Structure 1
Amino acid sequence: MINSRALLVIFIIVASFMAIAVKLFNIQVLEHDRFAKIAKNQQDKALVIKAERGMIKDRNGDILSYTLNDVSFFVDTRMLSQTSKGKIAAKFSKVFSKSEKHYLKLMESTGNVFLERKVPREKLLEFQNFIVDGFVSVDDPTRNYSYGNVASHLLGYVNNDLIGIDGVERTFDDYLTGIDGLLYVERDVQGRIVTVKDELSRKPKSGNNVYLTIDTKYQKILEQELKKGVDDCGAVSGIGILMNPNTGEILALANYPSFNPSEYYKVNDKVRRNRALTDTYEPGSTMKALTMAVLLDNGLVNEDEIINTENGHYRIANANIIDVNKYEKLSVREVLEHSSNVGITKLSERIDDRTFYKYLRDFGFGNSTSISLPSESAGFLKKPDYYSTLSKPFISFGYEISVTPIQMIAAFSSLINGGTLYQPRIIDKVVDENDQVIEQFESKRIRNIISPETSERIKNLMFGVVEHGTGKLARCSNMLVGGKTGTSQKFIDGQYVKDYNASFIGF
């Protein structure tokens, strides 16, 4: 007779087999589709193929910025046995010609450890069938700048995800960013790719290429000369712009000190900032050329009229207007040549307040130029309703007004091109990976400000500044040069200090 304990054991065994049978029936019949899908998903995988970011080129097609599609390799040491570590070290030693000891040392750390960073993508071929749990390769593209620091403030830079965060890289990020591709693959149980499903895959589409208006040759020259000027004068920094006055095209734009966009994080914001657009200053005596243009355009002066310049000292509304060089009398022509504060103050009194304001507004002051670069300042232009007795005289020689360098060169261009203000332009065109034009950027004429006749007269006056006046250092033996010098005290924390901004705008 079978005792009760034996019956219990037999019952448990039978019940267990019945439970397994029911579970198998569930898996193989009732939930077959669900588990088949899970198994397929474990074998099938969509691999993202990163699209290449577009290039930035100069007007001649010279490449300024491009992407290296590098890869990085890392391991999760928590998933590695000593045998796996030895296998990985041996493989990496062979591929990268470093000692196994080097890689074993790296893998002594706990967690995710990079073994090689930003190496050429071709190295992936060496690891095609290298399968070890905890070993991973990832796309790690690098943005490269062909000429290092050259045009750094124009080009800008990108973050680790290759998203533009300043300069052209930021403004034209949507154009430069491509569309990632997808590669659908089927893997075997060991994780090796056995099938590529082309019908489901999608090739990546590279980003568009952006052509700038600058010429790299001019840019390099400007940067070299700017550095030399700053060093020779013992200055803290400098800004230089080269612009075609008849189109608004920027041929070169530089700030010194500059920086390497690949290592932008090594310098502070003060160095990275494109001060030609972001920083405002009181322009000083360069403003006298614009004031003189207003006077000429309204028939309020003629070049040979004599002005009593008071031996360089003139008092108005309890303020002393002082000239560095003392003259009893000067012609209107000489007022500009010798940069007389007294002379331009007396002449500015002939201009109606609202007329003066309108001209200054038309020259572009008080508004940003809308150049295709980020963080541009609008400057400050006081409205005539808020003028004091001293406002117009002070504005006439470049105080009580704040401007950016890009505003000044645009305004000056209108003085010499026949009287037309053009929007400064840094972008020439955008083309796709097949070199087909996506968008062509044309010169934009904003408005006429002064007459062609006035333009010719003010040009001649500025030729005199270089030939006979304060701009003599700009003279060239093989060409006629015109321009206007400017010096203004810096205004810091609500007061004028002993430091100066010195500038020259020439043609």
Structure 2
Amino acid sequence: MSLRDIIHNLIDRERRTRIGRSRYDIRGRVLMVCGGLGLCSVALIAFAVDRQLVHADFYQKQGNVRFQRDVEIPTTRGMVTDRNGEPLAVSTPVMSLWANPQELAGDEEQIARLAQALGMPVDELQRSLSQKADKEFLWLRRRMNPTLVQRVLDQKIPGVYGVREFKRFYPQGDAVAHVLGFTNVDDHGQEGVELAFDEWLRGKPGEKRILRNRQGETVENVDLLKPAQPGKDLALSIDRRIQYLAYRELQKAVTSAGASSGSAVVMDIHTGEVLAMANVPSYNPNNINGTNRDTHRNRAVTDLLEPGSTMKPLTVAAALEAHVITPNTLFNTNPGRIPNGNYWTSDTHNHGVLDTTGVITKSSNVGAALIARRLSNEQFYDFVRRFGYGQSTHSGFPGEAAGLFPPPPRWYGTTKQSMSYGYSLSVTPLQIAHTYATLANGGVATVPSFVKGGSGESKQVITPELAHTIMKMMQTVTEPGGTATLAAILGYHVAGKTGTARIASNGGYAQKYLAFFAGVVPVDNPRFAMVVVVNNPDTAKGYYGGTWAAPVFRNVMEGALRLQDVPPDDINTWLAAQASGRTKTAKAAPAGDPEPTPEEVRESMQ
């Protein structure tokens, strides 16, 4: 073999060796690639199994947290109406703005835009956001006009959202404010009927599940979890028309008398329904921000006062029931005052000899005291207690006061005599109205109610005959010679009683007065009982109940009788007035004897 052949053989062997090695390297690389792909597939399958099977619930929950929300469905509060279906309180849809502080944090430009849209200082908004920096929710402004909210939302400021709510609206404003009360920013009742019937009116919000995108916009309603239940409507016993009359006339009287406040209550005698309850000063329940909290108080049910001479019909009735006097018993009130311990019980002037009716007609403190002396402490206490003094009327109105009527063991030697003409005990205007309604209802006491239809609870506390006798005695008060001729109503017999009580102050009595009138109309077929209280009238203008409270009664009752089509029970007087062309009781009619004011220091109630 030549050298040339040997070299060719070596080159050929080397070439074959290289081809073999090349084939081996490709096969190995293919195997490595396939092995890697296989491992990746296994990893992906394991990852999918973990996500879709092993921990599916966890990852689904995490996804829902980011995009799925359970949100409340707001519901409307029940409407409050008067007895005739006229709306007194309604809920209207509004919008509220809220923000996610975490989405706005650090974005000075967007915060400035938002502050400008809200009309508030930038630093104030920045401070609010900073205080809630770790939260996801901050109220920006509640209960706005939906149009204004939409203007803000149209600016597409990140992290700013709107939500639908409801706002309470009171069409009658301050005229019915103390009866209705108001709701807070969350639409929960705070005072009055809104508080007493909050659970009934409130309703129950619903709940739904939604999906939101990254911008917080709702893209899908996923599920209705709980339907919203609107609040139930409530029909009150209040008659909007009589309520307005009572408020208007009371406001006029308080202003004219230069008084500090006043209250009035009108009741349906047979059902115990409160047809009107007004207080002055009042407030606007549609805008309570900045109002004086003292004006929110319903004085007719929360304020305690000594009833003055409105107490005298009960004193007379107690003595008649005990048979210690008769309607014809005579009382010598000369010389116009009698001792009461270290003090005196006085009349404004000497009335001389009066019969039982005359004690009420002339409103004699001395006569009432002489009558009370014939009663034992227990007889007097038990009788008055039957009319509810010293205890709540159970009307259900929030904050109602029970009054103060101490039992005999807590009396002093002068207490009963002082009580006989309305001192040494305290009651509310509602309790006085309830007492006079009981007398007019044949001695049947019906629990006062603010709901249409009344409470249905009643009991006989005195005989119908005794109640009728007292009513006829009180009728003389509004007739010529009585202390309340300004309460007379043409064509109707009116029974009532004036009262003028000095206001207790610092253990004695100040030169300040309460002017009362409590009355019933018509006498022969009673329909309405009303009490009027004018607190602290200007003494320079007069301070008697017959001067300020009696005209309020007349003006309101004239309207109520006309609205309810109550026929006259004094038809002869009415016909005579029609024939003479006189259509209303003359406002300049003589007021009779002025209501006496006792000149004694207040008795201790301890």
1:35-114 paired onto structure 2 within 5 Å: 35-75=59-99, 76=101, 78-79=104-105, 81=107, 109-110=125-126, 111-112=128-129
What is the aligned partner in structure 1 of residue 211 from structure 2?
186
What is the aligned partner in structure 2 of residue 339 from structure 1?
363
Higher strand share: 1
What is the aligned partner in structure 2 of residue 451 from structure 1?
463
Deviation by residue 1:347-377 (Cα, 9 ceiling, x = unmatched): 1111121111101110101101111211111
How far apart are residue 269 of structure 1 and its match? 3.1
What is the aligned partner in structure 1 of residue 483 from structure 2?
470
Q: Is the 8 A contact 2:159 2:216 kept in 1?
A: no
Q: Is the 8 A contact 2:175 2:244 kept in 1?
A: yes
What is the aligned partner in structure 1 of residue 181 from structure 2?
156
> In the aligned structure 2, how far is the partner of 1:451 from the partner of 1:389?
30
What is the aligned partner in structure 1 of residue 171 from structure 2?
146
Identity of aligned residues (%): 32
What is the aligned partner in structure 2 of residue 410 from structure 1?
434
Distance 1:378 1:82, change over 3 A: closer
What is the aligned partner in structure 2 of residue 134 from structure 1?
159
> In the aligned structure 2, how far is the partner of 1:263 from the partner of 1:132?
30
Deviates more, 1:140-149 or 1:398-407: 140-149
Q: Is the 8 A contact 2:337 2:344 kept in 1?
A: yes
> In the aligned structure 2, how far is the partner of 1:101 from the partner of 1:269?
33
What is the aligned partner in structure 1 of residue 323 from structure 2?
299
> In the aligned structure 2, how far is the partner of 1:104 from the partner of 1:253?
41
**Residue of 50, 58, 61 corresponding to 1:34:** 58
> In the aligned structure 2, how far is the partner of 1:273 from the partner of 1:101?
39
Q: Is the 8 A contact 1:293 1:450 kept in 2?
A: no
Distance 1:126 1:496, change over 3 A: closer
Q: TM-score normalised to the size of structure 1?
A: 0.84
> In the aligned structure 2, how far is the partner of 1:157 from the partner of 1:205?
21
Distance 1:31 1:201, change over 3 A: closer
> In the aligned structure 2, how far is the partner of 1:103 from the partner of 1:395?
61
Deviation by residue 1:468-487 (Cα, 9 ceiling, x = unmatched): 31111111222211100011
- Give the counterpart letter for 1:134 in structure 2: G
Distance 1:255 1:69, change over 3 A: same
- Give the counterpart letter for 1:289 in structure 2: P
Q: TM-score normalised to the size of structure 2?
A: 0.71
What is the aligned partner in structure 2 of residue 368 from structure 1?
392
- Give the counterpart letter for 2:359 in structure 1: V
Establish whether residue 485 from structure 1 lines up as the match of residue 498 from structure 2: yes
Deviation by residue 1:152-199 (Cα, 9 ceiling, x = unmatched): 11101111111111111111111011111122122345544333224x
Deviation by residue 1:460-506 (Cα, 9 ceiling, x = unmatched): 11110110311111112222111000111111233211101110001
Q: Is the 8 A contact 1:311 1:329 kept in 2?
A: no
> In the aligned structure 2, how far is the partner of 1:102 from the partner of 1:215?
44
What is the aligned partner in structure 1 of residue 9 from structure 2?
none
Distance 1:106 1:140, change over 3 A: farther
Distance 1:85 1:349, change over 3 A: closer
Establish whether residue 287 from structure 1 lines up as the match of residue 308 from structure 2: no
- Give the counterpart letter for 1:256 in structure 2: V
How far apart are residue 297 of structure 1 and its match? 2.2
Deviates more, 1:76-85 or 1:41-50: 76-85
What is the aligned partner in structure 1 of residue 354 from structure 2?
330
What is the aligned partner in structure 1 of residue 548 from structure 2?
none
Establish whether residue 460 from structure 1 lines up as the match of residue 472 from structure 2: yes
What is the aligned partner in structure 1 of residue 265 from structure 2?
241
> In the aligned structure 1, how far is the partner of 2:58 from the partner of 2:415?
81
> In the aligned structure 1, how far is the partner of 2:117 from the partner of 2:163?
21
What is the aligned partner in structure 2 of residue 95 from structure 1?
none
Over alpha carbons, which structure has the higher Rg?
2
Distance 1:207 1:322, change over 3 A: same
How far apart are residue 118 of structure 1 and its match? 2.9
Unaligned runs of 5+ in 1: 1-13, 90-99, 429-439
Establish whether residue 229 from structure 1 lines up as the match of residue 253 from structure 2: yes
Establish whether residue 503 from structure 1 lines up as the match of residue 516 from structure 2: yes
How far apart are residue 117 of structure 1 and its match? 5.3
Unaligned runs of 5+ in 2: 1-35, 130-137, 521-606
Distance 1:105 1:401, change over 3 A: closer
How far apart are residue 248 of structure 1 and its match? 0.8
**Residue of 284, 288, 296 corresponding to 1:264:** 288
How far apart are residue 133 of structure 1 and its match? 2.4
How far apart are residue 281 of structure 1 and its match? 0.9
What is the aligned partner in structure 2 of residue 210 from structure 1?
234
Deviation by residue 1:401-454 (Cα, 9 ceiling, x = unmatched): 1111111111111112111111111112xxxxxxxxxxx753210x32221111
Deviates more, 1:265-274 or 1:47-56: 265-274
> In the aligned structure 2, how far is the partner of 1:64 from the partner of 1:141?
16
Deviates more, 1:461-470 or 1:135-144: 135-144
Q: Is the 8 A contact 1:372 1:427 kept in 2?
A: no
Question: Secondary structure of the residue that 2:504 maps to in structure 1?
Answer: strand
Q: Is the 8 A contact 2:475 2:495 kept in 1?
A: yes
Q: Is the 8 A contact 1:419 1:449 kept in 2?
A: yes
Question: Secondary structure of the residue that 2:511 maps to in structure 1?
Answer: strand
Establish whether residue 250 from structure 1 lines up as the match of residue 259 from structure 2: no
Q: Is the 8 A contact 1:247 1:443 kept in 2?
A: yes
> In the aligned structure 2, how far is the partner of 1:103 from the partner of 1:60?
42
- Give the counterpart letter for 1:402 in structure 2: S
Q: Is the 8 A contact 1:131 1:192 kept in 2?
A: no
Q: Is the 8 A contact 2:332 2:352 kept in 1?
A: yes
Deviation by residue 1:43-91 (Cα, 9 ceiling, x = unmatched): 22222111111111111111111112211235558447577579x77xx
> In the aligned structure 1, how far is the partner of 2:57 from the partner of 2:441?
77
Question: Secondary structure of the residue that 1:61 maps to in structure 2?
Answer: coil
- Give the counterpart letter for 1:302 in structure 2: T
What is the aligned partner in structure 1 of residue 336 from structure 2?
312
What is the aligned partner in structure 1 of residue 193 from structure 2?
168
- Give the counterpart letter for 2:498 in structure 1: T
**Residue of 372, 375, 380 corresponding to 2:404:** 380
> In the aligned structure 2, how far is the partner of 1:174 from the partner of 1:190?
37
Q: Is the 8 A contact 1:80 1:134 kept in 2?
A: no
Question: Secondary structure of the residue that 1:427 maps to in structure 2?
Answer: coil
Question: Secondary structure of the residue that 1:373 maps to in structure 2?
Answer: coil
How far apart are residue 310 of structure 1 and its match? 1.1
Provide the aligned length of Structure 1 versus Structure 2.
466
Distance 1:298 1:118, change over 3 A: same
How far apart are residue 123 of structure 1 and its match? 7.3
Distance 1:123 1:319, change over 3 A: closer
- Give the counterpart letter for 1:443 in structure 2: G
